[in-house]
């Protein structure tokens, strides 16, 4: 018998597409199944996973198994190295061996969008996710609000699946706001929010990224933080072309407002700067994550 102490937090699941559903002009919900997805840990909230995509259309994605999968993947010849992209679990049903992932269909022609636009039932991918057999904390979940805090969730279409999954798990008495910028009208993936949480969809309709989200957050912050304290020094700036834009503080007990920001790095950097430097929100109560950078592909 294998000891649970030998189980790694994450493992490679070999999966195939069970169902495809368009949930808006710019979103595709993919349901994956696999022989061992009953071992997938359903952690909820903004649980990150990685998907390995086929190198060529119709082929299976190739991803080595085992705890050293990443190094072994790096060592593969370029022509066999399946592209890897990071996503959020939208829903997991281990009893049915199913995981849902919502893909935002960008117009950038990257490998994920190219695969999604041609996806077929039975397509074979590899999914790196949390193993339910691991007895500790898996990692990859950043949403950690203090008890009783008002919530401010803000992001673009790449953050929409995470925001939806967070809303699904909130307690019935949660209160707050979710602001989601999406490419166009009709891009409103179904969500279930507690009665005390308002969800606002902000279609860009061809305008630049952040053009709807930034003013909406600024306006809401003025209402949530009407009399900010004297502003202290602004948070250290981040070069979004060079540095990783990712800061998730420890759970800030006692904070009245908790902000979770994710999406295009430059937009998210500006929102965090506004909340901390101009509205006086404690930086320990702001989780901000650059999910992607305009003009740059994910490594």
pTM value? Answer: 0.90
pLDDT band at 90 (very low <50, low <70, confident <90, very high): very high
Is 297 contained in some domain?
Answer: no
Inter-residue contact 112 to 83 (CB < 8 Å) = yes
- The pLDDT assigned to 299 comes to 43
- Residue-averaged pLDDT of the chain: 89
Q: Is the pLDDT of residue 1 over 50?
A: no
Q: In the structure encoding, which two tokens stand for residue 213, read together?
A: 């989200």
pLDDT band at 3 (very low <50, low <70, confident <90, very high): very low
The answer on 288 and 155 residing in a single domain is: yes
Determine which of 73-77, 239-243, 266-270 has the lowest per-residue pLDDT on average.
239-243
User: Residue range 136-141: average pLDDT?
Assistant: 95
Per-residue pLDDT tens over the stretch 6-53: 789 999 999 999 999 999 999 999 999 999 999 999 999 999 999 999
The answer on 77 and 31 residing in a single domain is: yes
pLDDT band at 156 (very low <50, low <70, confident <90, very high): very high
Domain around 63: 4-130
Residue finishing a domain among 82, 99, 130: 130
Inter-residue contact 73 to 84 (CB < 8 Å) = yes
Residue finishing a domain among 130, 163, 196: 130
Please give the Cα distance from 90 to 31 (Å, whole number): 10
Pairing verdict, β 175-182 and 150-155: parallel
Per-residue pLDDT tens over the stretch 184-237: 999 999 999 999 999 999 999 999 999 999 999 999 999 999 876 655 556 666
Q: Is the pLDDT of residue 294 over 90?
A: no
- The pLDDT assigned to 242 comes to 47
CA-wise closest residue to 127 among 257, 292, 17: 17
Please give the Cα distance from 157 to 209 (Å, whole number): 10
CA-wise closest residue to 284 among 274, 269, 272, 293: 272
- The pLDDT assigned to 69 comes to 86
Structural domain tally of the chain?
2
Provide the CATH number for the domain around residue 223: 3.40.50.80
- The pLDDT assigned to 67 comes to 80
φ and ψ at 11, to 5 degrees? Answer: -145, 165
Question: What is the spatial order of strands in the sheet that 257-264 belongs to?
Answer: 196-203, 175-182, 150-155, 257-264, 286-292, 246-247
Is 299 contained in some domain?
Answer: no
């Amino acid at each position: 018998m294998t000891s649970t102490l030998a189980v790694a937090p994450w493992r490679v699941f070999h999966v195939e597409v069970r169902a495809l559903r368009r949930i808006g002009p710019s979103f595709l919900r993919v349901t994956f199944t696999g022989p061992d997805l009953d071992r997938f840990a359903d952690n909820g909230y903004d649980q990150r996973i990685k998907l390995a995509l086929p190198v060529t259309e119709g082929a299976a994605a190739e991803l080595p198994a085992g705890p050293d999968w990443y190094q072994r993947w790096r060592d593969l010849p370029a022509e066999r190295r399946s592209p890897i992209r990071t996503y959020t679990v939208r829903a997991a049903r281990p009893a049915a061996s199913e995981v849902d992932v919502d893909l935002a269909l960008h117009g950038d022609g990257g490998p994920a969008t190219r695969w999604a636009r041609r996806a077929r039932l039975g397509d074979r991918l590899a999914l790196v996710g949390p193993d339910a057999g691991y007895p500790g904390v898996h990692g990859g979940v950043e949403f950690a609000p203090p008890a009783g805090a008002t919530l401010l969730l803000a992001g673009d279409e790449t953050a929409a699946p995470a925001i939806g999954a967070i809303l699904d798990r909130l307690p019935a008495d949660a209160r707050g706001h979710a602001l989601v910028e999406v490419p166009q009208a009709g891009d409103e993936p179904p969500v279930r929010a507690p009665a005390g949480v308002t969800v606002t969809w902000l279609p860009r309709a061809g305008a630049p990224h952040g053009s709807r989200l930034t003013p909406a957050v600024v306006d809401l912050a003025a209402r949530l933080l009407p009399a900010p304290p004297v502003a202290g020094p602004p948070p250290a700036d981040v070069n979004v072309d060079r540095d990783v834009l990712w800061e998730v503080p420890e759970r800030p007990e006692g904070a009245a407002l908790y902000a979770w920001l994710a999406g295009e790095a430059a937009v998210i950097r500006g929102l965090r700067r506004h909340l901390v430097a101009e509205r006086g929100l404690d930086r320990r109560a702001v989780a901000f994550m650059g999910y992607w950078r305009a003009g740059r592909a994910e490594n």
